[in-house]
Amino acid sequence: MAPSLAPSAGYPHKIPLWRRILSLVWDSADGDPEYRRYVQRLDLFVFPTICLGYFIKYLDQSNYSNAFVSGMQEDLSLYGNERNWLNTWFALGVMVGTVPAQMSQLKFIRPSLLIPTCELIWSCLTIGMGFTKSINAMYALRFFIGLFEACAFPGYIAILGSWYGPKELTKRVAILLQIESIASMFSGYLQAGLYTSMNGRAGIAGWRWMFIINAVISFPIAIWGYFGLPDTPHNTRAFYWKPEHIKYGIERIEKFGLIEQPKLTRQELKRIFLGWPLWCFVLPYVMIAACHSASSYFNLWLKAVGYSVVQTNVLPTAGSALNVVVTLTWGILADHTGQYFLLICICMGWCLLSNILLVIWNVPKSALLFSYYISYAGSAATPVLISWGHRLTADDPNLRQLLVAVANVVSYAWVLWVPLVLFPTYDAPRYKYGYQILILFGGLAIIGTSLMWYMHRRKA
């Protein structure tokens, strides 16, 4: 008899109460023993490898911000708009590299080779950031760091979507996205420690040690990626899969409607880029990312209305905590219920309420605090949308692999102009047009999500 492929199908024994309770949070706590062992092996090897890779990606992506306020600005005389340009050059690198990197994984090279190699390259470039004395050289390094990091996030999402089922994927994508907060916190603590203990050691400033130590952390994680990343169930060579695991895994994903990756041809690319499914996903993805960005300006309002320096730094962390709780809760709910559309619309409702209050502005201070805090919760829609997109394109692996890559490029392009045009620093904390346009973005997110739902219903 073939092994069961669902969490509880064919499992005749009485399920302990503690397993049933734990399974409400984590799927592999319940179901037949073979299912549990298989998903637990995924969680032991695949998921931690991807989380570690995303951790070093975000660490190496955001370290310049902490270095900037820890001596880099003064040492390099960066008193203009250089900090923003460092971010812009990185974003341009990501935009240039994302789609070609994802296409190369579909046609020429395994993700288990490409992604770790790029990790090693961007880690070497990060060391270069610690030794250069020219801001123009830093711009070039930031561009190439972005270029080589471009394969990481869409590549990680594609791997997760190739192995995990529709009732397992959303919560893991939600956890992956929270790695950003962990890496950002770690970067801050690391810079503080290095500034205290390493500043001037070997004639190297503390902020320069930041880039060097980041790379030292990244190298072993990148090397592990050659062994830990599994490619797809149909072509995996990972050491931790035995033949019976591979057979079970292929049967399992085929039950979910996932098929083997066909060859990527010019005709396939034309079909994907000229077809409606890709752009029906891109529209809500970009609008969701944009409409909850009010949280980025929370600390400017806190400072403007007279909160202390400590409060200005501490109060936004409550929003980050709320984001973590809501995102993980939404991931669990999406996996259990499959109500992706409803969960996304609820998040967008919060964003609309937040931005409406910020447009009105002349409300009690507590109402403005509330409006900024609920804007943090809006990001919970992103992992739900990603998981839903993977589920709707289960029978089209080439399209599924390119969904997040293309959407990420458009999202980065969008982010380049929105802060400059809608949220100029001289208007802070009340912006003339910013929050009004964010209401428009929230409405477009709901329209895009509705269109995505309708078109796939029509296709079915």
Detail the DSSP E strand segments found in 209-315: none
What's the predicted TM-score (pTM) here?
0.84
Q: In the structure, what pLDDT confidence band is assigned to residue 8 with cuts at 50, 70 and 90?
A: very low
Q: Which of 261, 285, 318 is the last residue of a domain?
A: 261
How far is it, in rounded angstroms, from Cα 144 to Cα 419? 23
Return all residues near 50 (Cβ < 8 A) that are at least 6 apart: 156, 159, 160, 176, 229
User: In the prediction, which pLDDT does 457 show?
Assistant: 81
In whole angstroms, what is the distance from residue 101 CA to residue 74 CA? 37
Same domain as 273, residue 244: no
**162 with 234, same domain?**
yes
* One domain, residues 253 and 304: no
Unique residue bearing structure tokens 């320096």: 309
Task: Write the CA distances from 265 to 76, 107, 150, 235, 236, integer angstroms.
Answer: 48, 8, 22, 19, 22
Do 257 and 273 reside in the same domain of the chain? Answer: no
259 pLDDT exceeds 90? no
Q: How confident is the model at residue 141 (pLDDT cuts 50, 70, 90)?
A: very high
Please tell me whether residues 256 and 272 are part of one structural domain: no
Q: Tell me 71's DSSP state.
A: I
Closest CA to 25 of 325, 318, 392, 344: 325
Confidence of residue 393 (pLDDT cuts 50, 70, 90): confident
Q: How far is CA 128 from CA 59, 115, 215, in A?
A: 15, 20, 10
The model's pLDDT over 203-242, given as tens digits with 9 standing for 90+, comes to 888 888 888 888 899 999 999 999 999 998 988 999 999 9
Is a pLDDT exceeding 60 seen at residue 13? no
Residue 7 in any domain: the answer is: no
Give the residue-averaged pLDDT of 281-310. 84
In terms of residue numbers, what domain contains 253? Answer: 15-261
Residue 435 belongs to a domain: yes
DSSP 151: T
Percent of the chain with pLDDT over 90: 40
Pair 418, 319 in one domain: yes
Lowest mean pLDDT among 30-34, 93-97, 308-312, 438-442: 308-312
Contact 297, 423 (CB under 8 A): yes
10 in a domain, yes or no? no
Q: Are 383 and 330 in contact (CB under 8 A)?
A: yes
- What per-residue confidence (pLDDT) applies to 24? 66
| pLDDT exceeds cutoff 70 at 21 | no
Q: How confident is the model at residue 20 (pLDDT cuts 50, 70, 90)?
A: low
Tens digits of residue pLDDT in 46-78: 999 999 999 988 888 877 777 877 788 888 887
State which of 211, 226, 261 marks the end of a domain.
261
User: Which CATH number fits the domain that encloses residue 321?
Assistant: 1.20.1250.20
408, part of any domain:
yes
Residue 9 lies in a domain: no
Within a domain: 202:
yes
Residues 360 and 425 both lie in one domain: yes
- Given this model, what pLDDT does residue 310 score? 67
Output the six-digit token pair for 279.
């752009």
Report the candidate in 180, 442, 446, 445 with the shortest Cα–Cα distance to residue 324: 180
Q: Residue 453: CB partners within 8 Å, gap ≥ 6?
A: 341
Whether the pLDDT of residue 7 is over 60: the answer is no
- 289 lies in the same domain as 428: yes
In this structure, is residue 5 part of a structural domain? no
Residues 368 and 423 in one domain: yes
Full 3-state SS string of 373-434:
HHHHHHHHHHHHHHHHHHHHCCCCHHHHHHHHHHHHHHHHHHHHHHHHHHCCHHHCCCCCCH
- The reply to whether omega before 262 is within 30° of 0 (cis) is no
CB atoms within 10 A of CB 318: 12
Residues 226 and 328 in one domain: no
Instruction: Give pLDDT tens digits for 150-204.
Output: 999 999 999 999 999 888 899 999 999 888 877 777 777 777 777 778 878 888 8
Three-state secondary structure readout of 166-190: CCCHHHHHHHHHHHHHHHHHHHHHH
Question: 275 and 247 in one domain?
Answer: no
Looking at the structure of the chain, the number of domains it has is 2
In the chain, the amino acid numbered 262 is P
Residue bearing the bigger pLDDT, 300 or 244? 244
Contact, 234 vs 261, CB < 8 A? yes
Q: What is the pLDDT of residues 315-360, one digit of tens each?
A: 887 888 888 889 999 999 998 888 999 999 999 999 999 999 999 9
Residue with tokens 């812009």: 88
